[in-house]
Structure 1
Amino acid sequence: MGQVLVTGAAGFIGAHLCQALLARGEQVIGLDNLNPYYDPKLKEARLAALTGKARPGQFAFHRLDLSDQDSVLALMAAHPGLDRVVHLGAQAGVRWSLQAPFAYTAANVTGTLAILEGVRRAEGRIGHTVYASTSSVYGSRTDGAFRESDCADRPASLYAATKLAGELMAKSYTDLYRLNLTGLRFFTVYGPWGRPDMAYWLFTEAMLQGRPIRLFNEGRMRRDFTYVDDIVAGVVAALDNPPATPAHRLYNIGNSHPEELLDMVAMLEELLGVTAKRELLPMQPGDVPATFADVSAMQRDFGWRPTTDLRTGLGRFVAWWRGYFG
Structure 2
Amino acid sequence: MRIAVTGGCGFIGSHVVDHLIAAGHDVLAVDTTDKYLNPDAEHARLDILDLGALTAALAGSEVVYHLAAMADVEQVSADPVRAVRTNIDGTEAVLEAARRSGLSRTVLASTVWVYGAALTDGQIDGGEQELDEHVPIELEHSGHLYVATKLAAEMLVHSYRELYGQHFTILRYGIPYGPRMRDELVVARFVQAALTGRPITIAGDGRQSRNFVYVEDLADAHVRALSPAAEDQTFALEGSAAVSVRDIADTVDALLGPVTIEHIDGRKADYAGRRISSAQAKRLLGWSPSTNFTAGVRQYADWYRAAVGSAAGA
Question: When the two structures are superposed, what TM-score results if normalisation uses the length of structure 2?
Answer: 0.90
Instruction: Write the distance in 1 (CA, Å) between the matches of 2:73 and 2:132.
Output: 21
Indicate yes or no: 2:66 matched with 1:87: yes
Indicate yes or no: 2:73 matched with 1:73: no
Equivalent in the alignment of 2:9: 10
Residue of 76, 80, 88 corresponding to 1:97: 76
The answer as to whether partners of 1:220 and 1:289 remain within 8 angstroms in 2 is no
Structure 1 residues 172-181 or 23-32, which shifts more? Answer: 23-32
Query: Once the two structures are superposed, what CA deviation does each residue of 1:53-112 show, in whole Å capped at 9, x if it has no partner?
Result: x2xxxx211111122223212322xx33x1111111111022221101122111111110
Instruction: Write the distance in 1 (CA, Å) between the matches of 2:129 and 2:198.
Output: 34
Equivalent in the alignment of 2:282: 299
The Cα shift of 1:257 comes to 1.4
The answer as to whether partners of 1:256 and 1:292 remain within 8 angstroms in 2 is no
- How well do the aligned residues superpose, as a CA RMSD in angstroms? 1.8
The Cα shift of 1:212 comes to 2.2
Q: What's the secondary structure of 1:5's corresponding residue?
A: strand
The answer as to whether partners of 1:9 and 1:18 remain within 8 angstroms in 2 is yes
Indicate yes or no: 2:131 matched with 1:146: yes
Instruction: Write the distance in 1 (CA, Å) between the matches of 2:232 and 2:244.
Output: 33
The answer as to whether partners of 2:116 and 2:274 remain within 8 angstroms in 1 is no
Question: Aligned letter for 2:243?
Answer: E
Instruction: Write the distance in 1 (CA, Å) between the matches of 2:303 and 2:274.
Output: 26
Residue of 223, 239, 245 corresponding to 1:255: 239
Instruction: Write the distance in 1 (CA, Å) between the matches of 2:110 and 2:164.
Output: 21
Equivalent in the alignment of 2:263: 280
Structure 1 residues 315-324 or 67-76, which shifts more? Answer: 67-76
Instruction: Write the distance in 2 (CA, Å) between the matches of 1:267 and 1:144.
Output: 28
Instruction: Write the distance in 2 (CA, Å) between the matches of 1:23 and 1:74.
Output: 26
Question: When the two structures are superposed, what TM-score results if normalisation uses the length of structure 1?
Answer: 0.87
Indicate yes or no: 2:207 matched with 1:220: yes
Equivalent in the alignment of 2:273: 290
The Cα shift of 1:176 comes to 0.7
Equivalent in the alignment of 1:27: 26
The Cα shift of 1:208 comes to 2.1
The Cα shift of 1:128 comes to 2.1
Query: Once the two structures are superposed, what CA deviation does each residue of 1:12-33 show, in whole Å capped at 9, x if it has no partner?
Result: 1110111111122211111112
Q: Which runs of no fewer than 5 residues in structure 1 stay unpaired?
A: 35-42
Structure 1 residues 310-319 or 208-217, which shifts more? Answer: 208-217
The answer as to whether partners of 1:128 and 1:242 remain within 8 angstroms in 2 is no
Q: 1:248 to 1:241 in 2, by over 3 A?
A: closer
Indicate yes or no: 2:191 matched with 1:191: no
Equivalent in the alignment of 1:116: 95
The answer as to whether partners of 2:229 and 2:285 remain within 8 angstroms in 1 is no
Q: Which runs of no fewer than 5 residues in structure 2 stay unpaired?
A: 123-127, 310-314
The answer as to whether partners of 1:95 and 1:286 remain within 8 angstroms in 2 is no
Q: What's the secondary structure of 2:108's corresponding residue?
A: strand
